[in-house]
Amino acid sequence: MRIIALAAAVAFGAAAIVVGASWLAQRQQVAETEAFMTGEIARLPTFEVGMVLGTAPFVRRWPARALEPNPTFEARLDAAAALWRAGKVKFLIVSGNGAGRYDEPTAMRAGLIERGVPAGAIYRDSAGFRTLDSILRARDVFGLRRLVIISQDFHIARALFLARAAGIQAWGFEAATAPSTRDWREELVIMGSALLAYVDVWRERRAREVGAPITVGIDPPN
């Protein structure tokens, strides 16, 4: 029994250390990037390109498990369209997972067109499997060294941290955050992702896929 108790204590201690490190990582990223984040269009500099980070267009709601539009997804498109209408960006890259259950970039492109953004201003990046992939492909595939990243505040700090570590001069535009339905498990995922971002930078990880270069505004949208 003593061995079991000791093992349980060690496991609990290790979990506590990881959770604490994850919390500190998230807070540090916010502190490092909050000067470059805003939800006010007037405060945002003008950029040639904005990048919308992907998420699922639909979610299942409990207990009925019915598919419903994802308010996080819709808010990101609303924010991106507002920036385009205000002349803060000329082009938009919609970056997400194009090989999963939903083709996120194609869904985002359709949603932006519905909001009045012309198809010729939208480039799809279907290999944005993780935030890290989206950021590195913005640099290595699209050749960007300056852009605005569009997502919710809990996501932008990590994205900006990764972008600036990759040598990109990035700002973040905060989309509206839906009334919180996150539980403690989702909060742990958010904090764990912040810690993983430090690991990714330390290990100098590369994007999972790097294809032919695409020059925004010169090459035709895909």
Q: For the chain, what percent of residues have pLDDT higher than 90? A: 58
pTM, entire model: 0.86
pLDDT tens digits, residue range 57-111?
988 766 556 788 899 999 999 999 999 999 999 999 999 998 877 899 999 999 9
pLDDT of residue 81: 98
* Structure token digits, residue 111: 């949603």
pLDDT of residue 191: 67
Q: For the chain, what percent of residues have pLDDT higher than 70? A: 79
- Place 203 in a pLDDT band, splitting at 50, 70 and 90: confident
| Candidate from 2-6, 10-14, 32-36, 149-153 with smallest mean pLDDT | 10-14
- Cβ(69)–Cβ(188) below 8 Å: no
Q: Measured between alpha carbons, how far is residue 192 from residues 21, 29, 31, 189 in Å? A: 9, 12, 17, 5
User: What secondary structure, in 3-state letters, does the chain show?
Assistant: CHHHHHHHHHHHHHHHHHHHHHHHHHHHHHHHHHHHEECCHHHCCCCCEEEEECCCCEEEECCCCEEEECHHHHHHHHHHHHHHHCCCCCEEEEECECCCCCCHHHHHHHHHHHCCCCHHHEEEECECCCHHHHHHHHHHCCCCCEEEEEECHHHHHHHHHHHHHCCCEEEEEECCCCCCCCCHHHHHHHHHHHHHHHHHHHCCCCCCCCCCCCCECCECCC
pLDDT of residue 195: 80
pLDDT tens digits, residue range 126-143?
999 999 999 999 999 999
Residue 133 CA to residue 135 CA, distance in Å, equals 5
- Place 7 in a pLDDT band, splitting at 50, 70 and 90: low
Position 60, amino acid: R
What residue segments make up the domains of the chain, in order of their start? 36-180
pLDDT at 112 over 80: yes
- Cβ(81)–Cβ(116) below 8 Å: yes
- Place 166 in a pLDDT band, splitting at 50, 70 and 90: very high
Q: Measured between alpha carbons, how far is residue 67 from residues 53, 58, 64, 112 in Å? A: 21, 6, 9, 21
Q: What is the mean pLDDT of residues 176-200?
A: 70
For the domain with range 36-180, which CATH number is right: 2.60.40.1930, 3.40.50.620, 3.40.50.2300, 3.40.50.300?
3.40.50.620
Burial 144-172 (b: 16+ CB within 10 A, else e): beebbbbbbbbbbbbbbbbbbbbebebbb
Phi (first) and psi of residue 126, to 5 degrees:
-90, 5
pLDDT of residue 60: 74
Q: What is the rounded average pLDDT for all residues in the chain?
A: 85
